[in-house]
A and B are shown apart, each in its own frame.
Chain A
Amino acid sequence: MSTSFSPVVAGSALPSDAPAPATPKAIAQRGGEPNPTAAALQQRFPSAIHRVDVVWNETTVVVAGAQLFDIVRWLHDDPSQRYDYLSDVTAVEFRDTEQPIEVVWHLRSLPYRRFLRLKVKIERGAPLDVPSVWSIYRGADWLERECFDMFGIRFTGHPDLRRLLMWEQYKEGFPLRKDFPLRGRFSRSEQLRQALAANPEARYSKEELTIAQAFEDLPDDMRRRLGTGERTGE
C-alpha cells in the first residue's frame, strides 16, 4: 500500500468553507435555486438553450439536438463545470401524442457536487437521431444501446449500436414506445416460436459465427456495417 495515496474526493473543487452536503428539506415544486451551470450554459451557448426548468430542485436544461455534443464536451472539459460523471441516458415518451419524445441525460459533477439534467426534445415524426456522447463518457456505451433497443433512438457516433436487452433479430419493435402494447404485438405462441428459433449460440459458440449463421436475418444496416468491417461490440 503506497503511503502517498490521495483519493479523488468528491467536492474537491468547492471552496473549503462551502456548506457540507445535507439532506434537502421542504423542496418546492417550482422556484428552487437553479444549478449555476444553467446560467453558464445560457451565456456560452445562447442559441442552443431552449429552456431552463427547476422542478423539485433539479435543474433541467432543454437543448437543441444538433449542439448537444458540443455542450456536453464543454461541460466535461471546462474547469468551472467539470461534469465528469454520466449517470444515465434515457428517453421519455408521453402518453399525449402531441408532446415530443424527450431524450434525457443525467450528469453529475463530482468535484462541484452538482447534478444536471439535459434534455433534447424530438418532435413526433422527426427522425429519432441524437448525437452520442460515447467519445466523452465510456459509460454511455451500454446506456445508449439500451435506449436504442427500447425506443429506437439512434445515437450517431456510437461505435456499435446494436440491441442489448432483446435479441438481435427481435421483430416486434421497440418495447418502451407507447404504441407497443404491454404484452407485445404477437400472440404468446408466436412469441415463443420466434424466441425458440433465435438460436442463442451456434455450433462453435463463436459470436461472429452466430452472426454469420443469422447473417441473412440481420437488418440491412447491420449487414452493411459488418461488411465494411466495423467492430462488433466492446
Chain B
Amino acid sequence: MATVKRTVEVELSTTGLDAAGRPQRVPLVVDDGGSPLALEAPPSAEPDLAGEHMLINIGPQHPATHGVLRLVLELDGETVVRCIPHIGYLHCGFEKIGEYRQYNQVIPWTDREDYLNSPGNNVAFALGAERLFGIEITERCKVLRVMAMELSRIMSHLVWLGTTCIDIGAFTPFLWSFDQREKIYKLLEDWIGARLTTSLTRVGGMGADIPDKWIEDLTAFVQSFPKTINEIDRVVTRNGIWVGRTIGLGVMTAEEAVNHGLSGPMVRASGVAYDVRKDFPYLDYETYDFDVPVGTNGDVYDRYLVRMEELRQSTRILEQAIRRLPDGPVNIADHRVILPPKSKATSDMESMIHHFKQVMEGPRPPIGEAYVAVESPKGEKGYYMVSDGTSKPVRWRIRPPSFVNLSAISKMVEGHLLSDVIAINASIDIVMGEIDR
C-alpha cells in the first residue's frame, strides 16, 4: 500500500527551548493512516533520559470532568507538562436562539445554561431586562429575588461539594449534600412548580408569589441546614487525606487571577476581595449584613474553605431576608410589561388587550443596551442585552464565569500530578452548560 508521508510540526517533548523561549519543535512524520513513521530528535537538545512524554486524553465523556470537557494532557511520567482543554461539546446555540425569542421566553433558556444556578440565572436575566426596559421592581420582589439567589447559591455549592468530594474520593458528603438539595427542590417546587429548571422570574416581577407556609418551610430549612454544613465540615476540613490532596494545588496569585479575569470563589481564594454583591451591588445587597470570605494561598483547599464559608453566609442572608420580607405586590403595576392577573385578563378589556399583546408579541423595550452582572456561585455572571426596539433582543450575550475560570486551567495544572488535575478541575466549579452555551 502506497504510503504518503506528511511532516507535521508538532510538539512532543519540551526538552529544549529555542531562542524565543518556546519549547523546541520535534518534527513528526506520519503516514496517511495516522501512525508515526519516524521520530526525529530535535536539532540541539540534551537527550531526554527520562523518556518520551505521554499524551493522555481525558474526556469528553468522563465521570470526573464535571461535564463534557476534554483535557489533553502531556505527561512526563505522572507530572503534567502541558494541558490543552477542549470545550464546545455542549454548545447548544443559546445566544443565537435568544435572538428569536421574546424577553420572557428567554427566561427558560437561562435556566438551562448554568443549570445548577437556575433561580440565580433567572434573577440575573430579569435584572438585565428590567434595566433595559427601565423599570423598578417592587420591594417584595427584591427580597424574594435575594432569597432565590441565595438558595440557588446554596444549591450550586452543594453540588460542587458533593462532586468534588467524590472526585477526591469521599463518597458520603455527596449523599448528604444531595439530601439537602432535595429540601431546596421541595421549596422551589412549592413556589414555582419545578425542581431544577425553575423559570422563576418574569420581566417586572416573578412567575408566582410564594404560597402560604413557604416562609415557615424556608425557616425550618435555614435552621437545619447549618447542621449539615457542620457535619461535612467535621468530616472533611481537617481530614488528613483531604488536606494532603488539596493544599498547595493549582495556585493562582492575586495578579494572575485578576489578569485572567477569574471571578467568584476562584479569585477570592487567591486573595482578591472582589464580590459583585459588595462592589457593584444590586437588589439592595448593601443593606444585608454578610461577610465575603477571602482566601490566602489561592490553592484548592482555600477555594474549598471559601465555598464552605459562603454556604454559611448565604444562610445568614436568608435569615435576614425572611425577617424583612415585606407585604405588597410581587409584580409591578405596569401591565404593558408583565402579564395582568388572570382574573382581570378575562374580565377587564384593557387587561385582556395587554395580555394579548404580551403573549403574541411580547413587551418591547426602548432601543439601547444594558449589561448587568451578578454574583453567581461561579463568579461574575453578566447578561448583555442589546435592543433595537422590537420584542426580541438583537443580541443576548451571556458572560459565563466558568468559561473564563476554565481558561486558566492550563496554567494551574502545569507541574502537578495527574490525580491533581482532577482535584484542580473540580475546584474551578465548572458547569459546561454555561461554558459552551
Contacts and interface: CB of A to CB of B under 8 A. Distances in A.
Interface residues of A, number: 78
B341 interface: no
B12 interface: yes
Interface stretch (B258-266, B331-339, B343-351): B258-266
A139 B30 contact: no
Contacts, number: 207
Contact of B95 (A29, A143, A150): A150
A27 B131 contact: yes
A176 interface: yes
Interface stretch (B166-174, B200-208, B210-218, B364-372): B364-372
B113 interface: no
B371 A58 contact: yes
A113 to B, nearest CB: 6
Interface stretch (B153-161, B186-194, B381-389): B381-389
A142 B280 contact: no
A18 interface: no
Contacts of B11: 208, 231-232
Contacts of B100: 182
B96 A212 contact: no
B6 interface: yes
A212 B28 contact: yes
A65 interface: no
Interface residues of B, number: 79
Interface string B34-74: 11100000000000000000011100100000000010100
Contacts of B282: 23
A126 B34 CA distance: 40
Given A90-B384, A200-B60, A231 B399 contact: no
B91 interface: yes
Contacts of B248: none
User: Which among B57, B87, B95 has the highest number of chain A CB atoms within 10 Å?
Assistant: B57
B88 A166 contact: yes
Contacts of A215: 6, 8
A56 B34 contact: no
A86 interface: yes
B432 to A, nearest CB: 11
A27 B95 contact: no
A177 to B, nearest CB: 10
A176 B95 contact: yes
A7 B258 CA distance: 13
25 contacts: A8-B254, A8-B271, A8-B272, A26-B136, A56-B131, A56-B368, A87-B380, A90-B384, A92-B397, A110-B272, A137-B259, A138-B261, A138-B408, A139-B407, A142-B406, A165-B88, A166-B88, A176-B95, A201-B57, A203-B34, A206-B55, A208-B11, A231-B11, A233-B84, A234-B410
Given A137-B259, A201-B57, A208-B8, 20 more contacts: A7-B254, A8-B272, A11-B279, A22-B281, A27-B134, A94-B386, A110-B272, A138-B256, A138-B411, A175-B96, A200-B70, A206-B72, A208-B10, A211-B10, A212-B30, A212-B34, A213-B34, A232-B11, A233-B84, A234-B84
